[in-house]
């Protein structure tokens, strides 16, 4: 399913991965020194003069802008460490719980992240499966 985030207006709300409304880009840049920004940007292009990175999705641009602003709105419920994205927070919290949801079909090793399993699976010459269901 294709996202229509790129069709939204500058000040509109953007739906984030976690189902809540994410901040609009205009609000993400509210406290930024306007001398740091460029006026003519392509759609989904970072507005910082020194960056100019173009991202595929509007939510990715908002996450990218957080790198420049230092905003980290998602906090770990176990240790309080803050993250730019909710997905990174969830991944971090899985480590506290030692949840390894991704299992190799060949040797039964388990991993925190699917990309770790994919790298391992290349070494095992196997394809990998998604998260295991815990019963």
Tens of pLDDT, residue by residue over 96-113, are 999 998 888 888 899 988
What CATH number does the domain containing 109 carry?
A: 3.30.160
Q: Is 1 part of a structural domain of the chain?
A: no
Q: Is 3 part of a structural domain of the chain?
A: no
Residue 56 and residue 17 share a domain? yes
The pair phi, psi for residue 25, each rounded to 5°, is -60, -40
Q: Is 133 part of a structural domain of the chain?
A: no
Residue 60 and residue 23 share a domain? yes
Q: What is the pLDDT of residues 41-53, one digit of tens each?
A: 778 888 888 888 9
Residue 103 and residue 57 share a domain? no
Q: Is 2 part of a structural domain of the chain?
A: no
The Cα-based distances of 87 to 4, 24, 33, 51 in angstroms read 21, 19, 29, 24
Using the predicted structure, report yes or no on whether residue 87 has a pLDDT greater than 60: yes
- Residue 120 belongs to domain spanning: 98-128
Using the predicted structure, report yes or no on whether residue 69 has a pLDDT greater than 80: yes
Say how many domains are in the chain.
Answer: 2
């Amino acid at each position: 399913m294709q996202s229509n985030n790129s069709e939204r207006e500058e000040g509109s709300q953007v739906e984030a991965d976690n189902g809540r409304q994410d901040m609009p880009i205009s609000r993400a840049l509210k406290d930024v020194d306007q001398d740091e920004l460029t006026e003519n940007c392509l759609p989904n292009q970072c507005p910082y003069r020194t960056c100019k990175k173009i991202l595929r999705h509007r939510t990715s641009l908002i996450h990218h802008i957080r790198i420049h602003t230092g905003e980290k709105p998602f906090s770990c419920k176990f240790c309080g460490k803050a993250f730019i994205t909710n997905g990174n927070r969830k991944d971090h919290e899985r480590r506290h719980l030692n949840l390894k949801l991704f299992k190799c079909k060949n040797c039964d090793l388990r991993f925190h992240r699917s990309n770790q399993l994919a790298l391992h699976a290349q070494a095992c010459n196997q394809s990998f499966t998604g998260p295991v269901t815990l019963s």
